[in-house]
Amino acid sequence: MAHIFTDDNFQKEVLDSDIPVLVDFWAPWCGPCQMMGPVVEQLAKELDGKIKIGKLDVEESPETAAKYQIMSIPAFKIFKGGEVVEEMVGAMSGDVLRGKLNAHL
């Protein structure tokens, strides 16, 4: 199951993580975000222990969304060692997202 990231836990769960982290910046009213939900959940199961995968609701955690300049959703950022190492915007296939993640394992 995908983790839930918030303004309150972002430092601990994402920036301080020992393994790479994929953050799915989304909102419940966003159609493309809803389409990506099952893809993100499937990858979270497949890659459990190799990469931490989670979602951050941009409306519930506006500070983090603003800090990372989220202008369009869904937006995906891969963090390693507390730094953004890759960014993607928009819906994509599971294979495309999996390939992006595998490049950082």
Distances (CA, A) of 22 to 11, 25, 42, 70: 14, 10, 13, 15
Q: Say whether 30 sits in a helix, a strand or coil.
A: coil
Asked if residue 72 lies in contact with residue 40, where contact means CB atoms within 8 angstroms, the answer is no
How many CB atoms are located within 10 Å of the residue 57 CB? 19
Give the Cα separation of 12 and 35 in Å (integer). Answer: 28
Of 2, 27, 30, 89, the active-site residue reads 30
Of 21, 23, 33, 70, the active-site residue reads 33
Catalytic-residue membership of 3: no
Catalytic-residue membership of 30: yes
Place of tokens 């493309």: 32
Q: Which residues are catalytic?
A: 30, 33
